[in-house]
């Protein structure tokens, strides 16, 4: 059954990415939702779209992980504490970019989750700009504050 569910997940992901990438069609899917599918982030802020719900366990960044990240960032944001990406990595026990830390996160998983939140305009621009300040983040996390466009989607 797992193989079938994974196949259905892949087909659903392909369909969602294809619809967004097709520039001749009117966009009916939000950029953050499509980005979450592409990068494997459970789209927790997209309550209206139901297509991810049957596949929750197949997302790389699980629902519980993104919930905890939002809570962590929200607490700091509410207190006016500005965070660098390196500080967020430290909180999640990430020591090497490609290796999953002791709390289940890798640098790329964390960057993708943060970009998803930023695309949803969760927290203000100043908060995200501080997180990706040149001296306070690895270069590959600069994408967090960039818009997401169909040009980024590849099917390779």
Write the DSSP assignment of 37-70 as a string of letters: HHHTB--TT--S--TTGGGGGGSSB-HHHHHHHH
Per-residue pLDDT tens digits for 143-156: 999 999 888 888 76
Confidence of residue 67 (pLDDT cuts 50, 70, 90): very high
What's the pLDDT score for residue 39?
96
What average pLDDT does the structure give for the chain? 88
Give the mean model confidence (pLDDT) for residues 36-57. 89
* Paired residues of 93 in beta bridges: none
Query: Is the pLDDT at 85 greater than 90, yes or no?
Result: yes
Out of 12-21, 36-45, 139-148, least confident range = 12-21
Q: Where residue 103 falls among pLDDT bands split at 50, 70, 90?
A: confident
Instruction: Report whether pLDDT(98) > 90.
Output: no
Average pLDDT over residues 16-44: 85
Q: Indicate the burial class of 51 (C-beta count within 10 angstroms; 0-12, 13-18, 19 or more).
A: middle
pLDDT at 24 over 80: no
DSSP track, 82-135: ---HHHHHHHTT--STTS--TTS--HHHHHHHHHHHHHTT-S-HHHHHHHT-GG
Comparing 23 with 99, the larger pLDDT belongs to: 99
pLDDT surpassing 90 at residue 96? no
Which secondary structure element, helix H or strand E, spans residue 81, and what is its range? none
The predicted model scores a pTM of 0.87
Phi-psi region of 40 (alpha: psi -120 to 50; beta: other; left: phi over 0): left
- Quick one: average pLDDT of 11-25? 78
Domain boundaries, the chain: 1-156
Q: Are 94 and 101 within 8 A, CB to CB?
A: yes
Question: 72 vs 141, which has greater pLDDT?
Answer: 72
- 3: which residues sit within 8 A by CB, 6+ positions away? none
């Amino acid at each position: 059954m797992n193989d079938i569910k994974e196949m259905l997940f892949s087909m659903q992901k392909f369909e969602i990415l294809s619809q967004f990438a097709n520039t001749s069609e009117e966009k009916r899917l939000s950029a953050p939702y499509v980005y979450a599918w592409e990068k494997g982030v459970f789209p927790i802020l997209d309550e209206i779209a139901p297509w991810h719900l049957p596949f929750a366990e197949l997302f790389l960044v699980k629902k519980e992980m993104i919930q905890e990240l939002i809570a962590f960032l929200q607490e700091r944001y509410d207190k006016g504490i500005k965070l660098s990406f390196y500080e967020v990595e430290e909180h999640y026990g990430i020591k090497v970019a490609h290796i999953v830390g002791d709390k289940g996160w890798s640098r790329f998983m964390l960057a993708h989750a943060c970009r998803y939140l930023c695309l949803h305009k969760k927290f203000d621009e100043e908060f995200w700009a501080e997180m990706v300040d040149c001296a306070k983040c690895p270069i590959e996390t600069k994408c967090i504050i960039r818009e997401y466009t169909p040009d980024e989607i590849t099917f390779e």
